[in-house]
Amino acid sequence: MPSQKVRLCFLAVCIFSVTHQVASISVGAFNIQTYGDAKQAAQGPNIAQVLTHYDIVLIQEVRDQDHSALINLKNLLGSTAWDYVSSNPVGRTTRYKEQYVFFYKKVSLNVLGNFQYNDSKSDVFEREPFAVDIEYPSTSLGHAVNVVLMGIHTKPDMALEELQALPTAMTAAKALFPNAAGVIAMGDFNADCSYLNNQEKATLPLFVDPKYRSLIADTVDTTTSTTTDCAYDRIVIEGNADIMADSAKVYRFDTALGLNNTITRAISDHYPVEFRLN
Ligand SMILES: [Ca+2]
Ligand SMILES: [Ca+2]
């Protein structure tokens, strides 16, 4: 049965690559300013280059309700290797809504479920957080780990109020996915400069309660403008010791891809923030 032999060879290669090539997984959160058909047409290849840096990446400020830009982007990334999960459009007005979208490499992890936080009783969030429950092979632990990645893009003028409420949304996601080792909130928190000062930040459990681990320091600059220096984009972990996260930083894709500041700002006013899960 020659065909069976061939199949066994493929299987052996598969097992080898799983045990010897998979390192940690790379996770990012990228606010792609006003991402839709126009942005995709103008900067799609550059955006795809940024996303290929990750195993899973949350993109925010997506305004593409018919998914035409997203499908184009998925095709640029490679539609057999990549997939995405999008939230429904969220936002208080019919005129302006955004989607949260997680793009991921199918070989690196499994997406087991998703969760849209509902705040209709209190209506705190302009764009209610959206989360995915993922399963990835932990190289440190030698087995699969589940974790919830929660995206949030706060309304700038209401950053304090929304960040006060974010732990409640994280708890709700954890309740839905009890097998998860924890919840990692990430995205454009607007947690700096004119939207959140140090006195306000000091009142937020998300940043002061030791059960939360904040990966992006206040001193970091997540803005592509050379005239602003703000740590708007953040990553905060609440979870158990199975979450082995490190290497958190801003991804300077302009430096990595050799893009000048004009092109960089045409892509977005934000750099991604990122970390690795081991
Ligand atoms: Ca709301
Ligand atoms: Ca800057």
pLDDT digits (tens, 9 = 90+) for 106-132: 999 999 999 999 999 999 999 999 999
Closest C-alpha among 188, 193, 172 to residue 235 = 188
Answer whether residue 19 shows pLDDT above 50: no
The mean pLDDT of 177-192, rounded to a whole number, is 98
Q: Which ligand is nearest to the CA of 119?
A: 1
Residue 61 designated active-site: no
Is residue 250 within 8 Å of 53, Cβ to Cβ?
Answer: no
Summarised one tens digit per residue, pLDDT across range 203-212 is: 999 999 999 9
Q: CA-to-CA distance for 114 and 72, rounded, in angstroms?
A: 23
The mean pLDDT of 235-259, rounded to a whole number, is 98
The mean pLDDT of 152-178, rounded to a whole number, is 98
Summarised one tens digit per residue, pLDDT across range 215-245 is: 999 999 999 999 999 999 999 999 999 999 9
- State the catalytic residue, choosing from 153, 238, 270, 274: 153
Residue 135 designated active-site: no
Q: How far is the CA of 100 from the centre of ligand 2 (A)?
A: 24
Q: Which ligand is nearest to the CA of 252?
A: 2
Q: How far is the CA of 122 from the centre of ligand 1 (A)?
A: 7
pTM of the model: 0.92
Q: How far is the CA of 80 from the centre of ligand 2 (A)?
A: 36
Answer whether residue 2 shows pLDDT above 60: no
Q: Which ligand is nearest to the CA of 155?
A: 1
